[in-house]
A and B are shown apart, each in its own frame.
Chain A
């Protein structure tokens, strides 16, 4: 649910990075943080455990520029991927404008990917959203590793709808900005059509 502020001429949109534990959601945000001009980004907040596992969420505000005289701001959030943090995951989806699903390409994580998509659908439904109606893109992460599932198989398992998808390697940054740009575009297109 974007927030249009006519007073400050700003529009704020919320993007949530979702996916199974250790798939690279936080790495995506860290890469964006490191590669963005400090003037366009705010502070990155990570509510993580001592072992750097996300406990509640990571947050990164980006002010990318202006469209038609309105400052466009994106608030990027990640969810904690570990299964037992489901209650927290659900909370972060509140008011979401678009979702990036970060899939782990490793063979042994395929089941976790599929479970996580199902979990995403369920949690969205609890907020009254249907994943099919939301701006949604997928990133197949960790394509640099050896023991990975083929792109075709990943698409078949995770991308029935044929939404935009990208191969990524969040640590080196491959696909990270392509993914962000794509979800931003999807969200702005929804705003354009005026569908809420």
Chain B
């Protein structure tokens, strides 16, 4: 099957949280989201309460996918950075470790230059975490198919639709 299943463990999640919180401060950003390329939200920090983070994650992935399609059309592997400029707020998107998207939302209190600089540094740290995470997922799935759903029953599934 293509790629492997994405699993996020508590330890890696904490490490990622530390990095994006640090990035939030250093880049003077409003909020930061880390999104899987398939559109699943992995982590977020900052001023996220007023945002529909599920929609943001899905649209971000769609945006990156469409831009990736454009890149391939002109013979590029991908466009690793996207920037959307608004009247007040701006969005900086960057692809990390070829599988997750770092979304930084910022306003006039910051600048594109600062965000790019800080994102670059944070990307390296996040890349390392994902490299070790992917290895862990591989090792643990090789050790046996231990899924939290191994004991699931038909009744469990029926209950979801009640």
* A residues lining the B interface (CB < 8 Å): 1-8, 11-12, 14, 42-43, 45, 47, 56-57, 59, 61, 64-65, 67-70, 72, 75, 77, 87-88, 90-92, 94-95, 127-129, 133, 177, 181, 184-185, 188-189, 191-196
Verify A75–B160 contact, CB threshold 8 A: no
Give the tally of cross-chain contacts (CB within 8 A): 144
Verify A185–B157 contact, CB threshold 8 A: yes
B-chain residues with CB within 8 Å of residue A64 when the two chains form the complex: 160-161
Surface stretch bound by A, among B19-27, B59-67, B106-114, B115-123: B59-67
Verify B8–A3 contact, CB threshold 8 A: yes
Verify A184–B38 contact, CB threshold 8 A: no
Verify B6–A1 contact, CB threshold 8 A: yes
B-side interface size class: 35 or more
Verify A14–B161 contact, CB threshold 8 A: no
Is B74 an interface residue, CB under 8 A from the partner? no
Q: Which residue of A lies closest to B59 (CB)?
A: A45
A5 vs chain B, min Cβ distance (A): 4
Question: Interface SS of chain A: helix, strand, loop or mixed?
Answer: mixed
Verify A7–B6 contact, CB threshold 8 A: no
B-chain residues with CB within 8 Å of residue A94 when the two chains form the complex: 37-38, 65
User: What 1/0 mask marks residues of chain B from 108 to 149 whose CB sits below 8 Å from any chain A CB?
Assistant: 000000000000000000000000000000000100111111
| Given A42-B54, A68-B152, A191-B147, A57 contacting B161 (CB threshold 8 A) | no
